[in-house]
Amino acid sequence: MRNIFIIILYTLRELFARKLFIAFGIISTLAIGIIWMILANGSVMINQFGNANPGYDEMEKIVLGFEVSAILFLSDLFILIAIFSCANLISSMLEKGTIDVFLSKPISRTQLLVGKYLGGVTFVFINMTYLVVGIFLVVSFYFNLWSFTVLLAIPVITFTFALLNIFLIISGLLTRGSALGMIVTYFYFIVLSPILAARDSISNFISSDILKQFLDFLYYLLPQVHDIVKTVFKQILLQNENVQYELLIYSTIFLIAGLAISFFIFEKKDL
């Protein structure tokens, strides 16, 4: 436990030394500032909707909707930058001469890998906390309406990154570089995951049954990143009835299996 904690700490330090915390901090602060300005100038618009004196429920929905769209938009951007930031954590650990030093200490390969993995996840968690709490405070103060459920965005987005980080870890272990990991993860996040999420509508254009089943197979095999963010998150926030909790379960299984595979690859590797 102590070993993992030390590695997490120094992984964050590595990211800090690469000025990534500062970069994220600046982007978040800018985003929060812009939201504040939009609110300050656009308050009249919200009041012009429907009746002049909307009920509390209706008002809460409008505020939540506003927060959710802002956070969803920014979180996509954040995840793109986070992938870029964390892509070389594994390759820098595996550098010849560096890994030799670390593995000569009383730390197991699994502990080292878990530390690096969680280091990346913690990095995203810290930055998302700053962003989401910032937006939450600005919006809530402005409307004097405190919907704490919006803070769920922090774990949901961190979890999304934790899933994508599996791709980074496995590619890093296999190639000792960061390029493949970035390509695979970006491809999955930007292209494949949205396609799989929309496979029902796509199916209408596909005649081959095998292809349809293949898409279904991929959908359940790979983490449902796109759906988790967009659906689960929205459903929870907008108090929708049928929350797809099973998506979380599938993805957690993927996460555990992915970690197990990466431990296995690392354990077998000649360094």
Partner 1 sequence: MEIIKIENLSKSYSSLKRKNNVLALDNVSLSVERGKIFGLLGQNGAGKTTLVKILLGLTHPTEGRFSLFGDSTNNYKNKKRIGYLPENHRFPNFLTAYQVLYYLGLLSELNYDGLKRKIFEALELVGLKGVEKKKVKTFSKGMMQRLGIAQAIIHNPDLIFLDEPTDGIDPIGRKEIRDILVRLKNENKTIFLNSHILSEVELITDNVAILHQGKLIKQGSISDLTAIENEYRITTDSELDTFLSKSDFVNFQLKKLNGFTYVLSGTDEDGLNKFVDLLRLNGITIKELIKQKLSLEEIFISLIKDLDKVK
**Which residues make up the interface to partner 1 (CB under 8 A)?**
3, 6, 10, 13-14, 17-18, 95-109, 268, 270-271
Compare residues 6 and 218 and give the one whose CB is closer to partner 1.
Answer: 6
The dihedral built from the CA positions of residue 171, 172, 173 and 176, taken in this order, carries a sign that is positive
Residue 231: CB minimum distance to partner 1, A: 40
Query: Per this entry, what is the length of the chain?
Result: 271
Query: Which DSSP state fits 191?
Result: I
> How would you classify residue 28: left for phi > 0, otherwise alpha for psi between -120 and 50, otherwise beta?
alpha
- Report d(CA 118, CA 9) in Å as an integer: 10
Residue 167: CB minimum distance to partner 1, A: 24
Compare residues 257 and 271 and give the one whose CB is closer to partner 1.
Answer: 271
Residue 161: CB minimum distance to partner 1, A: 23
Residue 11: CB minimum distance to partner 1, A: 10
Query: Which DSSP state fits 11?
Result: H
Compare residues 95 and 246 and give the one whose CB is closer to partner 1.
Answer: 95
Per the listing, tokens 């254009």 go with 205
- Look up residue 176 and give its amino acid: R
Compare residues 45 and 101 and give the one whose CB is closer to partner 1.
Answer: 101
